[in-house]
Chain A
Amino acid sequence: DGGITQSPKYLFRKEGQNVTLSCEQNLNHDAMYWYRQDPGQGLRLIYYSQIVNDFQKGDIAEGYSVSREKKESFPLTVTSAQKNPTAFYLCASSRANSYEQYFGPGTRLTVT
């Protein structure tokens, strides 16, 4: 079955540690996206990538980094510079110039 996988589903880290969230898709989509979801705030775009080896900052990129070395993979690193990292993180993908996004199941990150 084609789809988007995110792992792990739950992630716990101590403050000051970097952590990397995985996102893999086998839909052969060109574009991939990372969103952060907080209660009552909807989805906010962190980073997006339209093609391999290229990515752009979204609305809340500070304290995050990404890479896009392969078409199917778009990992997100939450660095120690992110002041409030505890949130639900969603990865999505779409075909080039498509108006439709497909979402992964999400990773809930808790930093204490």
Chain B
Amino acid sequence: GDSVTQMEGPVTLSEEAFLTINCTYTATGYPSLFWYVQYPGEGLQLLLKATKADDKGSNKGFEATYRKETTSFHLEKGSVQVSDSAVYFCALSQPTNTGNQFYFGTGTSLTVIP
């Protein structure tokens, strides 16, 4: 079945360091791909998305490119800030005849230290 695998955490970086969180997926057809962010004690917020191969999603300095050939959607940011400390979830959405199905990775915790 469809699934998402993302890099295990926790990840600890110094402010202004480069961030990469790896995400790979298994899916039939043509899923849409997402990164969500969760701050402590809150729900998930959509960070960025890509709906077809080679699309690049970007938001707040984060970006990820939908790579069908490597089935990947790695999250990157050139210079992280303390306020980026959160848990990041990679996810995919797959259309079915009963509506869209959503699959989430296990989350990667990021801590940015000053």
Contacts and interface: CB of A to CB of B under 8 A. Distances in A.
A42 interface: yes
Given A99-B51, A104-B43, A94 B100 contact: yes
Interface in B15-54: 32, 34, 36, 41-46, 49, 51
> Binding site of B, secondary structure by majority: helix, strand, loop or mixed?
strand
Given A42-B105, A56-B98, A99-B93, A106 B42 contact: yes
B45 A103 contact: yes
Interface string A77-106: 000000000000010101011111111111
Given A42-B106, A105-B43, 20 more contacts: A4-B43, A6-B43, A31-B99, A40-B106, A42-B89, A42-B107, A43-B44, A43-B89, A50-B98, A50-B99, A56-B98, A90-B44, A97-B100, A99-B32, A99-B93, A101-B46, A101-B93, A103-B36, A106-B41, A106-B43
Contacts of B105: 42
Contacts of A48: 99
Contacts, number: 56
A103 to B, nearest CB: 4
Given A42-B89, A42-B107, A43-B89, A101 B102 contact: yes
A33 interface: yes
A53 interface: no
Contacts of A33: 102
28 contacts: A31-B99, A31-B100, A40-B107, A42-B104, A42-B105, A42-B106, A43-B44, A43-B89, A45-B102, A50-B98, A50-B99, A90-B43, A92-B44, A96-B99, A98-B100, A99-B32, A99-B51, A99-B100, A100-B32, A101-B93, A101-B102, A102-B46, A103-B36, A103-B43, A103-B45, A104-B43, A105-B42, A108-B41
Contacts of A4: 43
A41 interface: yes
Determine the interface band of chain A, counting residues with CB < 8 A from chain B: 20 to 34
Contacts of A6: 43
Interface of A: 4, 6, 31, 33, 40-43, 45, 48, 50, 56, 90, 92, 94, 96-106, 108
